[in-house]
Amino acid sequence: MHLRDNYDCVMYMTTTGECTRSAPVALWTTPDKGQRTAHTDHLPANPHPESNTMAYPLTKLQLAIMDVLWARGEATVLDIHDDLRAQRRIAQSTIATLLSRMEDREIVDHRVESRQYVYRPRVSEEQVRRSVVHEFSELTGRLFSGDVAGLVSQLLSARDVQPDDLARAREIIEEKERELREREEGK
């Protein structure tokens, strides 16, 4: 990988429908793949084009930060650092940078209290889950060509499944079958 000396901007549409330019994004070139973007985690969350679901792609660390914010309701960088310190070694400045990028993407916001930023989540766990499931659904739709049974079979064979998990999956399938029957009867 070779980092380019120059930087490009990325165009994106804001949630209000306006087009704007991002901050510069570093690009690199790989011998076999051509030009790639180094990072785009400063971009705001984008709606999935075919649905009303917003896309909230989060890294593991960003998700860990969100877990702290969801549990606490709001927290300072120091609060988040203290909560994450047991799980991983990470600098407070890294947490502050990630929070700033997440704020740019409208995932968190802050208020000032005693010269400290107090962050709070702007999106719920459910919104992030829905976004991830939507992206996963699109990917599996392409991989399995809409074969739901093939997807379920692959998921069940990919890891050890507990009897409670199977019972819950059965309940979900039965619920969906009821919904489909009711929908058919209503036509």
Q: What is the mean pLDDT of residues 46-73?
A: 78
Stated pTM of the model? 0.59
Q: What is the mean pLDDT of residues 172-176?
A: 92
pLDDT for the residue 45: 53
- Is the separation of the CB atoms in 67 and 100 below 8 Å? no
CB count within 10 Å of CB 69 equals 22
Q: Across all residues in the chain, what is the average pLDDT? A: 76
CA distances from 142 to 46, 129, 136, 145 (A): 21, 20, 10, 5
* Per-residue pLDDT tens digits for 72-105: 999 999 999 999 998 889 999 999 999 999 999 9
Compute the Cα dihedral for 42, 22, 48, 122 and give only its sign: positive
For the chain, domain boundaries: 2-40, 54-121, 125-186
- Is the separation of the CB atoms in 110 and 117 below 8 Å? yes
* Per-residue pLDDT tens digits for 128-161: 888 888 888 888 888 888 888 888 888 888 888 8
Q: Does domain 54-121 have CATH number 1.10.10.10?
A: yes
pLDDT for the residue 48: 47
